[in-house]
Chain A
Amino acid sequence: MAKILSYEEKDTWIHRLSGVTKLIFFLLWCLTSMLTYDTRVLVVMLIFSLVVFKISKTRWSQVGAVFKLVMVFLAFNVFAIYLFSPDQGTAIYGTRTVLFHIAGRYDVTLEQLFYELNVVIKYFTIIPAVFMFLVTTNPSEFAASMNKVGISYNVGYAISIALRYIPDVQSEFTKIKHAQEARGIEMSGKASFINRIKNTAAIIFPLIFSSMDRIDVVSNAMELRGYGKHKKRTWYMEKKLLRNDYLTIGFTMLFTAAALLITFADGSRFYNPFV
């Protein structure tokens, strides 16, 4: 099983922030990064991300494996953009400064490089935020947080159940997969395409059925313990918002507003150094 990102308990001021704060930060940060293509804003965000990442004392071993995977995706994506549209940069920035020629319609232009650099930075502003959100937010507190920002407790609790049962479902999947492999049903290997799907079906089938049973048992168990009795519920793991939380939320909102203002001040989401 590949290494997946998960919460690790540590004592930093980021860990001590409430889940609500981190959720608001995470969502606004993603939104800003999605909307802006202003290189100046992106660079500020990148530096800020790296600083916060450092403060959170996240070790490389916690995220390294996943990070490498992201890099592969990113490289592939950057290459694909060039392959499909070598002149996307020109289309955006309006000028065409050829550095050298490769073949056919493929020139390497300064505009294209600059555009792709922006794409890369955009990814890099998000990645530390995702990493940090996952490794510093206690999943127990997460549902409470969602409920606090006004999302129905049903949604919060559904996420909580998902996080609770991911390890169980994974280990059951592994067990079933092994037993079926011993019977000769393999998902990998030399099987033809159609057989592969059939074999996958043979492995997923039992998993689905046992999951359907589990849904029945868990919902009975919850009902027997009074889930859904009232319109509201309280949370054992809820954290009160402290000064640092308000400061962080305030700062995030201000930053988002400022970033968007700067980005769209000239009517375009791109920062254009070429004109």
Chain B
Amino acid sequence: MEPIIEFKDFSFKYRAQKEPTLRNINLSIMSGEKVLIVGPSGSGKSTLAHCINGLVPFSWSGEITGSLRIAGKNPADLGLFGLSKIVGTVLQDTDGQFIGLTVAEDIAFALENDMTPQEEMFRKVNEVAEMVDVKGLLDHAPRELSGGQKQRVSMAGVMVDDVKILLFDEPLANLDPATGKRAIAMIDQIREKRNTTIVIIEHRLEDALYRDVDRIIVVGDGRIVTDTTPDELLCGDILNRQGIREPLYVTAIKHAGGKISPKDKPQHIESMHLEPYAQKVREWFDRTEAKKPKADTPSVLKVEDLYFSYVEGRPILQHIHFDIHKGEMVSIVGKNGAGKSTLSNLICGFYEPTRGRILLNGQDMAPLSIKERGEKIGLVMQSPNQMISKPMIFEEVALGLQVRGVSQEEIGERVNETLKICGLYPFRNWPVSALSFGQKKRVSIASILVMKPEVLILDEPTAGQDYRHYTEIMEFLKEINENSGITIIMITHDMHLMLEYTDRAIVIADGHLIADDTPAKVLTNETIADKAYLKKTSLYDLALDCQIEDPSEFVERFIAYEREKRGKEDQGNG
């Protein structure tokens, strides 16, 4: 059988760049296969995807050597429009892909462009809407939909064309864990019904492996590092070397000294043969210590009986209460739209609570203006691009002081000091545009830290970042937390983040506070995880299957062990 996608000695260099982004790619994907492509940011995995859907070279030009055939044809002969009949792409940015004013129109978009008669459009739209379960939403506008629903509309929108290949560009990036799980299941259903070839680009390996894939291709530095089955891949150490996170249960078994063998099918924790490893895991559990609890500190931010609604009778938040202590790292979690952002808006004073109080160091903050609160509570938005408003790094970090009328001398001192803390001092006279995304994120954090706030609130600090950048940012935050004692609150739906870096998780579901406990306890409690659209961690299943009685303690010890290990590695490097 002829492969549906075939790269042969394929290289590609963007017009504006000196070095090729893809080198010597040899890759065949057969019709009906389901393939996962993983790799860190900048590895070339997105460029590889763009070669398949035609954005390279039709939208981003460059030099190609070698050959590429899609469904037996040369993309250059098909053109972008010809390719779009064969390859359907679901982009990461569901709002960018949702072009229509309503669900039905968006699904019909490709048909409209093909001059399909209206009657036929009605029929086809109904058919695919049913397949991805959005039929009840056909007349809804995008702002009435959740992220997961928008993504399903995007899937429907490319499936109306009967495409042979479905290409997913980081489908999990903007979804909460439970919704991500559903998306992966949906992709599997589509493949079963239509026998479509599926290519998924993703760096969240564990979540993407929720359903079987045939092969995983690891891309690193523009080359294919390996092309193998999931079971084989999880046994080696390629993932670690490429900076891609292994499934947690795999890491735990490796920590325990287990040498995983492909015949035990490590692809899913549910179906893996754990008997050969259980003894070792139990022994590891017994000899590992949990982390010591932090010393008790005074309260810094206290929320008392907080209620909020935009429209009377439709409460967004109800009876929220918690007390955060100085120097804590806390996560606020829950599904998208549960009220997490509203909560941070209330704390920052953008909106006034309908009822209840917010206390900073025991003082009611109600009389303080947004600007005054801003000096005590710093807010860092999800994307640095939403905050950066000066072309030069120094100016950007200085901005908050400048508008407060601080003297030039003091500004210079404080900005330089902050830049040093954030590791940006060598770049102080650079334009922001010369920085990587992770560095920009640091600039946006520095521009807040310079005001010396007592509390730092970060909205999805790691969204859309690969494991290496994620670790870099989180280690940086941990460092400033430990060194300056600043209290850090993170709004997130990233379970790894809450588990590994926070001491406490405040869980909000449908406007109510449903848990305030250690992340390990939250993520091993099925009821809470379900309500908050989280997913219980695979470490929980591992612990149960290894007959460990206290799974949340197992999770605690795992995290403590990882932290210590990372600490040692840092010392080794530094």
Contacts and interface: CB of A to CB of B under 8 A. Distances in A.
Q: Do A and B truly interact?
A: yes
Contact of A229 (B81, B100, B117, B142): B81
Contact of B400 (A168, A183, A225): A183
A206 B99 contact: no
5 contacts: A160-B101, A179-B379, A186-B371, A210-B385, A225-B99
Interface size class for chain A?
35 or more
Interface residues of B, number: 68
Interface stretch (B102-110, B221-229, B241-249, B482-490): B102-110
B509 interface: no
Nearest to B348: A182
B144 to A, nearest CB: 10
Interface in B377-408: 377-379, 381, 383, 385-390, 399-400, 403-404
Contacts of A203: 389
A201 B390 CA distance: 9
Given A163-B101, A228-B113, 18 more contacts: A164-B100, A180-B387, A182-B374, A183-B374, A183-B451, A199-B403, A205-B389, A217-B96, A220-B59, A221-B96, A222-B109, A223-B80, A224-B89, A225-B158, A226-B84, A233-B112, A234-B111, A234-B118
A181 B389 contact: no
B55 interface: yes
Contacts of B379: 178-179, 182
A218 interface: yes
Contacts of B171: none
A73 interface: no
Contacts of B161: 225-226
Interface in B339-386: 345, 348-350, 370-371, 373-375, 377-379, 381, 383, 385-386
A234 B117 contact: yes
Interface of B: 53-55, 58-59, 80-81, 84-85, 89, 91, 93, 95-102, 104-105, 108-118, 121-122, 125, 142-143, 157-158, 161, 345, 348-350, 370-371, 373-375, 377-379, 381, 383, 385-390, 399-400, 403-404, 447-448, 451
Nearest to A212: B385
A222 B373 contact: no
Chain A binding surface SS class = helix
A171 to B, nearest CB: 8
B158 to A, nearest CB: 7
Nearest to B167: A224
Contacts, number: 165
Chain B binding surface SS class = helix
A227 B371 CA distance: 46
A140 B101 CA distance: 6
A179 B114 contact: no
B81 A226 contact: yes
Contact of B95 (A160, A168, A186, A234): A168
Interface in A185-201: 185-186, 195, 199, 201
B97 to A, nearest CB: 5
A4 to B, nearest CB: 14
B84 A178 contact: no
Smallest CB-CB A-B distances: 7 pairs:
A217-B96, A182-B374, A236-B108, A202-B389, A205-B389, A226-B113, A184-B403
Contacts of A217: 91, 93, 96-97
B448 A230 contact: no
Interface in A78-124: none
A199 B388 CA distance: 13
